[in-house]
């Protein structure tokens, strides 16, 4: 894993978004301000709706902006939900599988205040019962055995600006975060802060006739004081990531099955590879 930034095949939109959320293309999103428990004690010079302030907060939550390398890890589950009224509960929803994702990231602040980053990611699906990494999977909706993809992404980069993210992708995509100022939703309780952002995205997978849509929601739990300290180049936090989207194509779902997937994961970012789960690191190196 010492050569984590070497070239390798690029991954698709769905798997890119389901790595640690720090790698999400939809890196900036919609704002309201709720200051429970701390209102009246906010620094006088802080405007929670200021795009520059939100840009600084978001990019420091996503990783260190002082060009130090950091490592992300995410552990999550994927659920299937079918459309239709009065379905038996065991048909309406079920846990399909789990996954573990990770990333390595390096970022720097540009002279205009934008943040340029480069990253690489991994994602592996796990058995819903044993937690072991899967290479094959029996689709519970069709009872067909399907091959499980393994994602080791190529190096990718983007620039977060006060006018939205500037990025490139090998597929056509539109998002509610493009061409607009970065905005976040803040909630405070005592000395803690919850910072969240959402995005709605549509993209055209290569080789497929239909576009796909997705909603993503990121939430970070951090110390409120770290948000207001511009000298901190990284805001330590615990994160959660939620996504709603169509069934993945590798499941080979029949068109007559109508439903979607709900993804939910917990994440953390560390400064050393040694702090990542050993089994996950071994999988990345395999």
Cβ atoms of 10 and 154 closer than 8 Å: yes
Task: Determine the pLDDT at residue 192.
Answer: 94
CA–CA separation, 217 and 219 (whole Å): 7
Tokens of 19: 């790595």
Task: Determine the pLDDT at residue 33.
Answer: 42
Residue with tokens 């996504």: 243
Phi, psi of 213 (to 5 degrees): -125, 160
pLDDT digits (tens, 9 = 90+) for 152-198: 888 889 999 999 998 766 667 889 989 999 989 999 998 999 999 99
Cα pseudo-dihedral 11, 168, 25, 52, rounded to 10: 160
pLDDT digits (tens, 9 = 90+) for 97-120: 999 999 999 999 999 999 999 999
pLDDT digits (tens, 9 = 90+) for 70-85: 999 999 999 999 998 8
Task: Determine the pLDDT at residue 210.
Answer: 82
Cβ atoms of 63 and 269 closer than 8 Å: yes
Sequence-ordered list of residues with C-beta below 8 angstroms from that of 200, at least 6 positions apart, any chain: 175, 176, 213, 214, 215
pLDDT digits (tens, 9 = 90+) for 9-63: 444 444 544 443 434 333 333 334 444 445 446 788 889 999 999 999 999 999 9
Going by C-alpha positions, the residue among 135, 99, 106 that lies closest to residue 19 is: 99
């Amino acid at each position: 894993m010492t050569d984590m930034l070497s070239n390798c095949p690029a991954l698709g939109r769905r798997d890119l978004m389901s790595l640690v959320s720090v790698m999400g293309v939809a890196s900036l999103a919609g704002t309201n301000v709720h200051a429970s428990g701390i209102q009246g004690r906010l620094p006088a010079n802080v405007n929670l709706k200021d795009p520059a302030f939100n840009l600084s907060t978001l990019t420091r939550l996503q990783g260190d902006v002082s060009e130090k390398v950091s490592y992300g890890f995410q552990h999550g589950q994927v659920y299937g939900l079918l459309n239709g009224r009065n379905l038996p509960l065991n048909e309406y929803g079920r846990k399909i599988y789990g996954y573990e994702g990770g990333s390595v990231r390096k970022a720097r602040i540009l002279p205009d205040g934008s943040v340029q980053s480069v990253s690489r990611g991994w994602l592996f699906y796990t058995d819903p019962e044993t937690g072991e990494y899967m290479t094959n999977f029996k689709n519970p909706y069709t009872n067909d055995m399907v091959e499980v993809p393994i994602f080791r992404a190529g190096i990718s980069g983007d620039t977060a600006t006060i006018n939205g993210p500037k990025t490139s992708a090998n597929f056509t995509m539109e998002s509610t975060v493009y061409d607009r100022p970065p905005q976040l939703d803040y909630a405070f309780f005592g000395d803690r802060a919850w910072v969240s952002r959402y995005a709605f995205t549509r993209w055209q997978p290569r080789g497929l006739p239909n576009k796909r849509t997705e909603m993503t929601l990121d939430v970070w739990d951090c110390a409120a004081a770290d948000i207001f300290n511009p000298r901190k180049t990284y805001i330590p936090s615990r994160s959660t990531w939620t996504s709603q989207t169509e069934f993945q194509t590798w499941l080979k779902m029949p068109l007559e099955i109508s439903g979607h997937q709900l993804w939910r994961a917990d994440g953390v970012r560390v400064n050393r590879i040694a702090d990542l789960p050993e089994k996950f690191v071994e999988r990345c190196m395999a």
